A and B are shown apart, each in its own frame.
Chain A
Amino acid sequence: MNSAPDQLLVLVLLINILILGTHRTRVAIRAIATQGIVLGVLPLMIHSFHSHILIITLFVLLAKGVCIPWLLFGALKKVDFGEHMEPFLGYTGNIIAGALATVVAFAFAARLPLAPVHQGLLAVPAALATILTGFIALASRRKAIHQVIGYLLLENGIFIFGLLLTESMPLMVEAGALLDLIAGIFVMGIIIKQIGREFSSMDTSRMTALREVD
């Protein structure tokens, strides 16, 4: 538990809770950027040094630490109405749900049939907890930009699980996945600006024109 990668993973878990508990969009974006940077450093600490690992680290730092936060702040600049929108369940409810999800993740990961090398590693429960946190954020938030942050949490969780596999994933696929992620956030950023223009708000629960009525 005292090794540096495990401490960084604890930091990741704390950031999850912070994102669930904050009502300030800017704080949430900075938090997700910090989480991205932590994730970028992790492969270097877990695996033996290799040019493949170094390139991945650089890509991740650039994508999750710089590009994506920049795109999110860009989307925010156009439509920052600063209105306060309580998530479903409220902030306290969100934090409790996040804490519960973390507990469940640890309990579940202990029972998984992991490879002997990975037994007792924090990476698997941390991955599961981050994925669950992402779902909580996606389900409870109403602002479009917070839903994007929830999606990024989900992606980060999947990335943590991918750490166990970094050596077997081809570089091309990793780089392509990050490129697609940036492109996806770019498109979402554009949509958020349009939502702001059309609905004068980023509240996606106001988008109710399309549903089955009779």
Chain B
Amino acid sequence: MLLITLLTVIPLLGALAAWIIPSNDRRPWVLPLVACLHLLIVSALCALPLSPSRGGWIHLDAIGRVFLLEIGGLFCACAFYAVNYLQYRQERNNRVLCMGMLVCLSAMSLAVVSHHLGILWLAIETTTLSMAPLVYFNRNARSIEATWKYMLICSIGIALALLGIFFLAYSTVVAGLEPSLLLGPLQGYAPKLPVAWLNAAFVFMLVGYGAKMGLAPMHTWKPDAYGEAPGLVGAMLAGGLANCGFLGLIRIYQICMASGNVHFYRSCLIGMGLFSIAVAAIFLVRQTDFKRMLAYSSVEHMGLFVLALGLGGKALYGAMLHVIGNGLAKGVLFLAAGNIHRAFASKNREVARGALRRTPWSGGLFLVGFFALTGSPPFLPFASEFSIFSAAFTNGRPVVGAFMVLLLLIAFMGMSFTVLPVVLGEPPKNRERTKYRDTPLLAGPPFVLLLIIALLGLWLPQPLYRIVTDAAALLEASR
């Protein structure tokens, strides 16, 4: 319990420190310091057996551990990256960025450990708010437009999710049960809850948390925010916040699956998932801006998550594995994309060409990261995407499986039309070189992330394998 408290308090103390430290130079060092402490606690927590506490409000279950490991690892990489990145951006005061990152880390940790739907909602709402000023880091007309769309759509989404939570609470009142918003009791109640209210709660939470995740058609804020935010903020949005939205959806999924009448929920999830992947695949073709491309790729993978929930069975294992694989791979791509953006002062594939020659490390990482994310062996996303794909066939949904593969293939080809010129093209001759050069602290963090997903793809350590299978079993056994 103490460790869980520390998990949320240490980042807040870090935010306080970032607020107090006057020097723009020294302040970013708070980020890696807090990130290392946080990751240390996360590893300790994942090794220890934990029981729910305080009336069941706070509990780190296996699902939470999967998310916590992913968020802790990704944040750590982003934190080390931030130090050197912010040195390149001396013209901007980085106080708000450092504070926002740390407050967001605290809120994400709280979201992961909470088993009370209200607290979970509060934490997710806080992550949205704390990231808003970070999207606006570049202080120009384009980034203000992105921030406005991000704020408005995510706030409305989160408000609808709250309405869904109210519907769920109200369904317990209609059923004449003791009202509760705790996951455990609600799972127990689920078979007795009136179907109409439970369905309404599910739909509103799917739309609400779906807006936060960036599922189509609520994804419109995503390319703008990911495109205009600095690379490391994009990494946190894609690997941290989007996953928190997915966690919110997982919690209501657990309750709905326990209700016994699962057909409606499964078809909703499969439909939504396929639609998101299809929309993403369409917009990935002919995308000229490589940061916006990453945003659509995130829409695609969020769709994959939801599709996996809908398929159930072995796909749940794939989804849990993909939380780690996708989160870390997104970190590689966004951090490398940030470097390439700095190096060419452009994120358009017409201008930013030949990254492999200008910035060999970042260019290489971007290319290999692209293959990793799209599911090439031996990386981790291959293993996770393959188990989702095979589950579609073993669960008697061959058409869904075939569609999924076709759409992923289109997305892969669409992305390669952008990634290949950016990495392998001929560098433009008529443009001056910017002062950006790859440094160990800018290319190192994405490199380490890539190494991790490569190693995990080849060999999943026994403790991690157990956590992932336990998480999948929790999702499965909800019935």
Contacts and interface: CB of A to CB of B under 8 A. Distances in A.
Contacts of B166: 158, 161-162, 165
Contacts of A83: none
A210 B227 CA distance: 9
Given A151-B152, A187-B133, A180 B125 contact: yes
A202 to B, nearest CB: 10
B180 A173 contact: no
Interface stretch (B34-42, B134-142, B211-219, B321-329): B134-142
Given A154-B156, A191-B136, A199-B141, A210 B125 contact: no
Contact of A164 (B155, B163, B173, B228): B173
A173 B122 contact: yes
A183 interface: yes
B133 A155 contact: no
B228 A210 contact: yes
B473 interface: no
Nearest to B57: A170
Given A158-B159, A212-B283, A168 B169 contact: yes
Contacts of A177: 118, 121-122, 125, 162
Interface in A187-214: 187-188, 190-191, 194-195, 198-199, 204, 207, 209-210, 212, 214
A184 B287 CA distance: 32
Size bracket, chain A contacts: 35 or more
B174 A114 contact: yes
Task: Pick from A172, A183, A187, A210 the residue with the most CB of B within 10 Å.
Answer: A210
A115 B147 contact: no
A57 B207 CA distance: 30
Given A162-B166, A169-B118, A209 B151 contact: no
Contact of B126 (A114, A173, A180, A199): A180
Nearest to B176: A115
Contacts of A109: none
A134 to B, nearest CB: 9
Task: Pick from B169, B170, B172, B287 the residue with the most CB of A within 10 Å.
Answer: B170
Interface string A113-150: 11100000000000000010000001000001001000
Size bracket, chain B contacts: 35 or more
B194 interface: yes
Contacts of B283: 212
Binding site secondary structure of chain B: helix
A82 interface: no
Interface in B161-217: 162-163, 166, 169-170, 172-174, 176, 179-181, 194, 196-197
A198 B159 contact: no
B288 interface: yes
B163 A131 contact: yes
A180 B144 contact: no
Interface in B104-153: 116, 118-119, 121-122, 125-126, 129, 132-133, 136, 140-142, 144-149, 151-152
Contacts of B141: 198-199, 209
A183 B132 CA distance: 11
A191 B119 CA distance: 27
Interface string A50-93: 00000000000000000000000000000000000000000000
Task: Pick from A151, A155, A199, A209 the residue with the most CB of B within 10 Å.
Answer: A209
Contacts of A176: 118-119, 122
Contact of A183 (B121, B129, B180, B228): B129
Contact of B170 (A151, A164, A195): A164
Contact of A180 (B129, B194, B223): B129
B286 interface: yes
A131 to B, nearest CB: 7
B61 interface: no
Contact of B145 (A170, A183, A207): A207
A210 B156 contact: no
A184 B122 contact: no
Contacts of B169: 165, 168-169
Given A155-B159, A165-B166, A188-B151, A209 B133 contact: no
B461 to A, nearest CB: 38
A191 B166 CA distance: 30
B224 interface: yes
A194 B140 CA distance: 9
Contact of A115 (B133, B144, B173): B173
Contacts of B179: 165, 167-168
Given A199-B141, A210-B146, A158 B163 contact: yes
Given A154-B159, A168-B173, A113 B145 contact: no
12 contacts: A112-B196, A155-B159, A165-B173, A168-B173, A170-B116, A172-B118, A184-B125, A188-B151, A198-B140, A198-B141, A198-B144, A210-B142
Given A168-B181, A191-B144, 16 more contacts: A113-B194, A113-B196, A113-B197, A115-B170, A168-B173, A168-B180, A173-B122, A177-B125, A188-B155, A191-B147, A191-B148, A191-B151, A209-B145, A210-B146, A212-B283, A214-B288
Counting from the closest, the 4 A-B pairs by CB-CB distance are: A168-B179, A173-B118, A207-B145, A176-B122
